[in-house]
Each structure stands twice: as C-alpha cells, then as structure tokens.
Amino acid sequence: MEHYKISQDFVFGDDVYKNEYYMKKYYLKNRKKNLDHPIHDSSLFPTMECSIRDEYGHTLSLRLPGITKTGICDFLFTDMDTDIFINVHHNYFPAVLHNHTYFELIYVLDGVCVNYTEGQPLSMKCSDLLILPPGTEHAISSFADGNRIINILIRASLFENMFFKQIPESDMVYTFFSKVLNSNVKNSFLLYHTHDDMVIKSCILNLFNDQTHFHYYLDSLKISYVSLIFSRLLNMHEDHYEMFHAAMESEHNISMLLRYMQNNYATITLKKMSEFFGYSERHLTRILSAYTDEGFQKNLQHIRVQKAKEYLRYSSHSIEKIALLVGYPSPYNFREVFKKECGITPSEFRKQQGRSGL
C-alpha cells in the first residue's frame, strides 16, 4: 500500500498539490459563492486565477480541457494533436457546468466526488468510473484533500470506430451507446462500480504517467490502455453498472429492466416481467419506450435475433435448435422474424459467416 501511495505522488507531481493548496485557500475564503455546487458562470475560474495570483503570488498551472474566459470550447484534441487526453481534476476547482463534443470517463482513484447532471447529484466513491457521452451537461464537485479524480477524454469518432465495436450487439450497453450516438440523446450516462479493479486502476495510472513522456508510439499505447479498460468493463463488470437516461423516470433503474430482459430472453413474457418488477404491463411498456423508443416485443426481438446470430456464427446447431434456444418454438416464425430484422434468412446469414451447420 505504501508503494502505491508513493507511485501516485510521482505520477501527479508537486504542481498539482500546490495548485490545490491555493485553490483551497480561495474556496475557504469565498464560501458564500458556493463553488462546490453547480454553476453556469465559467468566468469564475479566471476571477479565481487572478485573485490567487494577486493575493498569494502563485500562478495556477492547470491544463484545463477547454475552459476559457468565455466558456467551454472543444479545441482540446486539435491543440494537443491527440485523440485521447488524460487530465487530473483538481480538488477545490469550481463546479462549472459544461458540455462538450467528446466522451469523458471520470474515474475516482481515491476519495469521493459528486457529478452534477441536470442539477441532480450523483455521488461517486473510490474506483467508480462514469462514462459521459457527448452533449451531456455536467459539473464535478471535489472539495476534500483526500480526493483524486482522473478524467479521460476521448474523441467521439475514435470511441465509435474502435471501442464501440467491442460491445456485442446483444448487450444492453450496445443499445445505450447506439441510442446516444445515433439520435443525439443528451444527459445519459453509465456508472460502473469497478470494486477496486487493479487492472483498470493500473491502466489509468499508466495512461497519465505515459502522457507526460512523449514518444513515437504514445497514441497507440493510449489506445491500447483505453481498449483494455473497456474490455475489462464489459467482461468483468457486466453486472456492476447503473444506466441513467434523460427520458426515464428517476425511480426506475433502466439498467435493471434491460439486464433482466437480456438474461431471460428465451422464456420471458411481458406478464412475467411486469409481475417481477411490480409494474402494470402498460406502465412497463411506457418505461421501455421512453428509453429505447420501442416497446417490450421489439426490444425482445432485437435481443433474440442478436443471440441467434451468435449461435449461427459460433455453433453447429441446426436452425430449428437455435430457434428453440432463443425462444421461438416455431422455426418458421423464427425465420420470418430473423429475415424481417436482418434482411436475410438464418441459413443465408450462416453461409455468409462461412458455416454450413447441420
């Protein structure tokens, strides 16, 4: 544990702690400004910067992603000539509400923080990882000495072209990102509880450390680290996330509903699911439609067809057997549903994958 603490001090350097020392002094002196609560006025930062310089003789040296005197801008990736940028979120920095065109991963390395979205606080604890899609207005509030928050900023095109493709189409996380990327959904996000996953923690520390030492393969290395983080989330933490969506009602955890469908797709019915969660069938359909734009049957059809594709790709089961496995007692009905969804029959799909089946 002592070695881990020493490595963190090495990674973040003296400048971070000096900046936080003087920002804390400013915060304590200006408590009435409620800097730890979400605010829209980004001009507070240059005001704080000038005040610290004039009063304490210290010039803040912060590499802030896109915060200027006039607001938030998205020139970060062009200025830094990179697709991935890692940044320390300084403690006692004003909780300025903003949004941007890139994906942001917020990781709590130590301590706690609060992320405000749509004015609602989301408490995050150590080893939590929050994924914010583009266009999500938010503010991070971290006002304690023991906190250490890391931001990983990813250009949207890279996220979509590389990391998005790692997610199986049958996974509800795929549905989430597909919705976000294709329909301009705002204020939706995923919160993973990684339970002190040392692989993820090591990747994030290495990302930050390697970024401070430029070398020819730096971008490739950063992509590899982030790719490993996403693989780890999908493979080891598939049951450790919460899904939030602007369209859903606050009392509903949409991730629980979708995971239930995903885990019980072969035998599930609307009646069974309604009874399990204590909703009326009509109300459950309304919740699903608010999030996915589709009701129970359409969502179930998508899941079953994607599961069928996996069987067609990777097994030698007959079409009739696969139909039963994914919840269609009638092979004819299965073929009709599959063709309507994919444009080709299951047999034609299997031939395209280079498998003949039985």
Which pLDDT value is given to residue 215? 66
Q: What is the rounded CA–CA span in Å between residue 148 and residue 207?
A: 15
Share the mean pLDDT of the chain.
83
Tens digit of pLDDT for each residue in 86-95?
989 999 999 9
Domain regions of the chain by residue span:
2-244, 261-352
Tens digit of pLDDT for each residue in 327-358?
999 999 999 999 999 999 999 999 988 765 54
Give the global pTM.
0.73
Instruction: Among 42-56, 211-225, 305-319, name the one with the lowest average pLDDT.
Output: 211-225
Tens digit of pLDDT for each residue in 195-252?
999 999 999 999 988 877 666 678 889 999 998 998 888 788 877 877 776 555 444 4
DSSP letter for each residue of 78-118:
HHHT-SEEEEEE-TT---B-B--SSEEEEEEEES-EEEEET
* Beta carbons of 21 and 52 less than 8 angstroms apart: no
Res. 324: pLDDT tops 90: yes
* Beta carbons of 20 and 90 less than 8 angstroms apart: yes
Which pLDDT value is given to residue 327? 95
Res. 51: pLDDT tops 90: yes
Phi, psi (5° rounding) for residue 243?
-110, 130
Q: What is the rounded CA–CA span in Å between residue 316 and residue 314?
A: 7
Which pLDDT value is given to residue 136? 84
Confidence of residue 42 (pLDDT cuts 50, 70, 90): confident
* Beta carbons of 257 and 303 less than 8 angstroms apart: no
Tens digit of pLDDT for each residue in 141-190?
999 999 999 999 998 888 877 766 666 665 666 666 666 555 555 567 88
Q: What is the rounded CA–CA span in Å between residue 148 and residue 70?
A: 27
Q: What is the rounded CA–CA span in Å between residue 212 and residue 71?
A: 26
What is the mean pLDDT of the segment spanning 53-77? 70
What is the mean pLDDT of the segment spanning 40-62? 88
CATH superfamily of 261-352: Homeodomain-like (1.10.10.60)
Q: Domain 2-244: which topology?
A: Jelly Rolls (2.60.120)
